[in-house]
Copies of this chain bind each other. A is one copy, B any other.
Amino acid sequence: MADAEYTNIWMRPERPARGPKPAYSRAQIAEAAVRIADAEGAEAVTMRRIAAEIGAGAMSLYRYVPSRDDLIVLVADRLQGEIDLDGVPSGDWRADLTRYAHEVRAMWLRHPWVATVHRSLLAPGPNQLRLIERVMGVLDPCLSIDENLGLMAILNGYVESAAREEVSRAEEVRRSGLSEPEWLARSYPYVERLLSSGDYPIFTKIATDTRHLRLGRDDQFRYGLERVLDCIAAALPPTPPRRERREDHDD
Protein backbone atom coordinates (compact mmCIF):
# COMPACT_ATOMS: atom_id res chain seq x y z
CA MET A 1 0.00 0.00 0.00
CA ALA A 2 1.12 3.51 -0.69
CA ASP A 3 0.03 4.84 2.67
CA ALA A 4 3.49 4.97 4.14
CA GLU A 5 4.79 6.70 1.06
CA TYR A 6 3.43 10.05 2.05
CA THR A 7 5.10 12.44 4.46
CA ASN A 8 1.82 13.39 6.10
CA ILE A 9 -1.88 13.70 5.32
CA TRP A 10 -1.41 16.97 3.55
CA MET A 11 0.83 15.32 1.02
CA ARG A 12 -1.70 12.59 0.38
CA PRO A 13 -4.09 13.54 -2.41
CA GLU A 14 -7.67 13.49 -1.23
CA ARG A 15 -9.07 12.05 -4.43
CA PRO A 16 -7.39 9.79 -6.93
CA ALA A 17 -7.98 10.05 -10.63
CA ARG A 18 -9.41 6.63 -11.24
CA GLY A 19 -12.21 4.68 -9.70
CA PRO A 20 -15.72 5.43 -8.54
CA LYS A 21 -16.57 8.76 -7.04
CA PRO A 22 -16.15 8.75 -3.26
CA ALA A 23 -19.38 9.02 -1.33
CA TYR A 24 -17.87 11.14 1.41
CA SER A 25 -15.02 13.57 1.91
CA ARG A 26 -12.33 14.43 4.40
CA ALA A 27 -14.04 17.70 5.26
CA GLN A 28 -17.27 15.84 5.94
CA ILE A 29 -15.50 13.33 8.15
CA ALA A 30 -13.68 16.02 10.12
CA GLU A 31 -16.95 17.88 10.49
CA ALA A 32 -18.65 14.81 11.89
CA ALA A 33 -15.80 14.32 14.35
CA VAL A 34 -16.15 17.89 15.55
CA ARG A 35 -19.90 17.49 15.94
CA ILE A 36 -19.49 14.34 18.00
CA ALA A 37 -16.78 15.82 20.20
CA ASP A 38 -18.87 18.92 20.84
CA ALA A 39 -21.89 16.89 21.78
CA GLU A 40 -20.41 13.91 23.58
CA GLY A 41 -16.82 14.73 24.40
CA ALA A 42 -13.49 13.72 22.96
CA GLU A 43 -13.70 10.13 24.18
CA ALA A 44 -16.78 9.57 21.99
CA VAL A 45 -14.82 10.28 18.84
CA THR A 46 -14.13 6.74 17.65
CA MET A 47 -13.82 5.53 14.11
CA ARG A 48 -17.07 3.59 14.34
CA ARG A 49 -18.92 6.51 15.85
CA ILE A 50 -17.73 8.91 13.17
CA ALA A 51 -18.63 6.44 10.45
CA ALA A 52 -22.09 6.00 11.93
CA GLU A 53 -22.50 9.77 12.11
CA ILE A 54 -22.06 10.15 8.37
CA GLY A 55 -23.92 6.94 7.64
CA ALA A 56 -20.91 4.97 6.48
CA GLY A 57 -19.46 1.64 7.45
CA ALA A 58 -16.67 1.71 10.00
CA MET A 59 -13.90 0.71 7.64
CA SER A 60 -14.90 3.17 4.95
CA LEU A 61 -13.13 5.98 6.77
CA TYR A 62 -9.81 4.38 5.98
CA ARG A 63 -10.40 5.17 2.32
CA TYR A 64 -10.03 8.83 3.25
CA VAL A 65 -7.54 8.78 6.06
CA PRO A 66 -4.68 6.38 6.72
CA SER A 67 -5.21 6.25 10.49
CA ARG A 68 -7.12 7.77 13.35
CA ASP A 69 -4.14 9.92 14.30
CA ASP A 70 -4.18 11.48 10.86
CA LEU A 71 -7.88 12.08 11.15
CA ILE A 72 -7.22 13.97 14.38
CA VAL A 73 -4.67 16.09 12.55
CA LEU A 74 -7.40 16.94 10.07
CA VAL A 75 -9.74 17.89 12.88
CA ALA A 76 -7.08 20.03 14.54
CA ASP A 77 -6.56 22.00 11.38
CA ARG A 78 -10.30 22.38 10.89
CA LEU A 79 -10.44 24.00 14.32
CA GLN A 80 -7.71 26.45 13.39
CA GLY A 81 -9.88 27.32 10.45
CA GLU A 82 -12.49 28.70 12.81
CA ILE A 83 -10.15 31.46 13.84
CA ASP A 84 -11.15 34.47 11.78
CA LEU A 85 -8.31 36.88 11.10
CA ASP A 86 -9.54 38.61 7.99
CA GLY A 87 -7.66 41.81 7.32
CA VAL A 88 -5.44 41.24 10.24
CA PRO A 89 -2.21 42.90 9.63
CA SER A 90 -4.24 46.08 9.99
CA GLY A 91 -1.47 48.42 11.11
CA ASP A 92 -2.51 48.39 14.75
CA TRP A 93 -0.49 45.53 16.15
CA ARG A 94 -2.04 45.67 19.58
CA ALA A 95 -5.57 45.48 18.24
CA ASP A 96 -4.57 42.66 15.91
CA LEU A 97 -3.00 40.53 18.61
CA THR A 98 -5.87 41.25 20.97
CA ARG A 99 -8.30 40.05 18.36
CA TYR A 100 -6.21 36.97 17.73
CA ALA A 101 -6.10 36.14 21.42
CA HIS A 102 -9.84 36.47 21.82
CA GLU A 103 -10.50 34.43 18.71
CA VAL A 104 -8.34 31.60 19.99
CA ARG A 105 -9.94 31.65 23.40
CA ALA A 106 -13.43 31.68 21.90
CA MET A 107 -12.54 28.67 19.80
CA TRP A 108 -11.31 26.81 22.88
CA LEU A 109 -14.49 27.59 24.74
CA ARG A 110 -16.57 26.38 21.81
CA HIS A 111 -14.59 23.15 21.65
CA PRO A 112 -13.26 22.33 25.12
CA TRP A 113 -11.78 19.09 23.86
CA VAL A 114 -9.10 20.85 21.75
CA ALA A 115 -6.78 20.15 24.62
CA THR A 116 -6.78 16.51 23.56
CA VAL A 117 -5.67 17.12 19.98
CA HIS A 118 -2.13 18.23 19.48
CA ARG A 119 -0.94 20.44 16.72
CA SER A 120 2.30 19.63 15.05
CA LEU A 121 4.44 22.57 14.07
CA LEU A 122 6.41 20.56 11.58
CA ALA A 123 3.46 19.56 9.44
CA PRO A 124 1.18 22.57 9.55
CA GLY A 125 -2.09 22.20 7.70
CA PRO A 126 -3.50 24.85 5.37
CA ASN A 127 -5.46 26.61 8.08
CA GLN A 128 -2.57 26.72 10.49
CA LEU A 129 -0.36 28.03 7.73
CA ARG A 130 -2.79 30.82 6.98
CA LEU A 131 -2.89 31.64 10.67
CA ILE A 132 0.88 31.74 10.94
CA GLU A 133 1.11 34.12 8.03
CA ARG A 134 -1.48 36.46 9.48
CA VAL A 135 -0.43 36.45 13.12
CA MET A 136 3.28 36.61 12.59
CA GLY A 137 2.76 39.09 9.83
CA VAL A 138 1.66 41.56 12.48
CA LEU A 139 5.10 42.04 13.99
CA ASP A 140 7.11 40.85 11.03
CA PRO A 141 7.87 44.34 9.69
CA CYS A 142 9.58 45.47 12.88
CA LEU A 143 11.24 42.35 14.25
CA SER A 144 13.60 39.62 13.24
CA ILE A 145 11.93 36.28 12.74
CA ASP A 146 13.61 34.92 15.86
CA GLU A 147 12.39 37.76 18.02
CA ASN A 148 8.94 37.47 16.51
CA LEU A 149 8.84 33.76 17.28
CA GLY A 150 9.94 34.41 20.83
CA LEU A 151 7.26 36.97 21.43
CA MET A 152 4.55 34.89 19.80
CA ALA A 153 5.59 31.99 22.00
CA ILE A 154 4.82 34.14 25.01
CA LEU A 155 1.50 35.28 23.64
CA ASN A 156 0.44 31.85 22.48
CA GLY A 157 1.61 30.40 25.75
CA TYR A 158 -0.54 32.73 27.74
CA VAL A 159 -3.62 32.36 25.58
CA GLU A 160 -3.44 28.59 25.36
CA SER A 161 -2.70 28.08 29.02
CA ALA A 162 -5.50 30.38 30.07
CA ALA A 163 -7.91 28.63 27.74
CA ARG A 164 -6.67 25.24 28.81
CA GLU A 165 -7.26 25.99 32.44
CA GLU A 166 -10.67 27.50 31.85
CA VAL A 167 -11.70 24.50 29.86
CA SER A 168 -10.23 21.76 32.01
CA ARG A 169 -12.61 22.40 34.87
CA ALA A 170 -15.63 22.29 32.59
CA GLU A 171 -14.37 19.09 31.03
CA GLU A 172 -13.82 17.52 34.40
CA VAL A 173 -17.38 18.31 35.37
CA ARG A 174 -18.73 16.96 32.12
CA ARG A 175 -16.80 13.74 32.37
CA SER A 176 -18.05 13.15 35.89
CA GLY A 177 -21.57 13.09 34.52
CA LEU A 178 -22.71 15.32 37.36
CA SER A 179 -24.15 18.80 37.27
CA GLU A 180 -21.76 21.55 38.26
CA PRO A 181 -23.20 22.10 41.76
CA GLU A 182 -23.32 18.37 42.39
CA TRP A 183 -19.74 18.02 41.31
CA LEU A 184 -18.68 20.95 43.43
CA ALA A 185 -20.45 19.49 46.44
CA ARG A 186 -18.74 16.18 45.78
CA SER A 187 -15.26 17.65 45.77
CA TYR A 188 -16.00 19.80 48.79
CA PRO A 189 -14.89 17.33 51.50
CA TYR A 190 -11.36 17.20 50.13
CA VAL A 191 -11.01 20.96 49.93
CA GLU A 192 -12.45 21.21 53.39
CA ARG A 193 -9.89 18.76 54.71
CA LEU A 194 -7.06 20.75 53.15
CA LEU A 195 -8.35 24.00 54.60
CA SER A 196 -8.87 22.66 58.10
CA SER A 197 -5.45 21.04 58.16
CA GLY A 198 -3.93 24.50 58.32
CA ASP A 199 -0.92 23.35 56.34
CA TYR A 200 -1.75 25.28 53.20
CA PRO A 201 -2.30 28.97 53.93
CA ILE A 202 -2.04 30.11 50.34
CA PHE A 203 -4.29 27.42 48.99
CA THR A 204 -6.72 28.48 51.68
CA LYS A 205 -6.51 32.05 50.47
CA ILE A 206 -7.22 30.92 46.95
CA ALA A 207 -10.15 28.76 47.91
CA THR A 208 -11.81 31.30 50.19
CA ASP A 209 -11.11 34.46 48.21
CA THR A 210 -12.19 32.79 45.03
CA ARG A 211 -15.54 32.02 46.54
CA HIS A 212 -16.10 35.69 47.34
CA LEU A 213 -14.83 38.28 44.95
CA ARG A 214 -12.95 37.23 41.80
CA LEU A 215 -13.77 38.96 38.61
CA GLY A 216 -15.33 37.14 35.73
CA ARG A 217 -13.37 34.85 33.46
CA ASP A 218 -13.45 37.35 30.65
CA ASP A 219 -12.01 40.21 32.68
CA GLN A 220 -9.42 37.90 34.16
CA PHE A 221 -8.31 36.85 30.70
CA ARG A 222 -8.32 40.41 29.45
CA TYR A 223 -6.20 41.59 32.38
CA GLY A 224 -3.53 38.96 31.79
CA LEU A 225 -3.61 39.63 28.08
CA GLU A 226 -2.93 43.33 28.63
CA ARG A 227 0.04 42.36 30.78
CA VAL A 228 1.40 40.15 28.04
CA LEU A 229 0.86 42.79 25.39
CA ASP A 230 2.66 45.31 27.58
CA CYS A 231 5.49 42.83 27.72
CA ILE A 232 5.51 42.62 23.92
CA ALA A 233 5.35 46.40 23.61
CA ALA A 234 8.43 46.69 25.77
CA ALA A 235 10.34 44.35 23.47
CA LEU A 236 9.40 46.24 20.32
CA PRO A 237 11.83 48.70 18.76
CA PRO A 238 11.08 52.28 19.84
CA THR A 239 10.31 53.64 16.38
CA PRO A 240 7.31 52.32 14.52
CA PRO A 241 8.58 50.95 11.22
CA ARG A 242 5.89 52.57 9.12
CA ARG A 243 3.63 55.49 9.45
CA GLU A 244 1.14 53.30 11.21
CA ARG A 245 0.40 54.92 14.51
CA ARG A 246 -1.37 53.53 17.41
CA GLU A 247 -2.64 55.34 20.47
CA ASP A 248 -3.66 53.72 23.66
CA HIS A 249 -5.24 50.38 23.37
CA ASP A 250 -8.89 49.78 23.90
CA ASP A 251 -11.11 46.96 22.91
Which residues does A use to contact B, with CB under 8 Å?
Answer: 7-8, 10-11, 115, 118, 120-124, 129, 132-133, 136-137, 140, 145-146, 149-151, 153-154, 156-162, 165, 168-169, 172, 186-191, 193-194, 199-203, 205-206, 209, 213-215, 219-220, 223-224, 227-228, 230-231, 234-235, 248-249, 251
Contact = CB atoms under 8 A, between A and B. Distances in A.
> How many copies of the polypeptide does the oligomer hold?
2
Contacts of A159: 157
Contacts of A160: 157, 161
A150 B193 contact: no
Contacts of A230: 231, 234
A163 to B, nearest CB: 10
A122 B169 contact: yes
Given A7-B190, A230-B231, A120 B150 contact: no
Nearest to A249: B213
Nearest to A140: B202
B161 A156 contact: yes
Contacts of A8: 187, 190
Contacts of A162: 153, 157
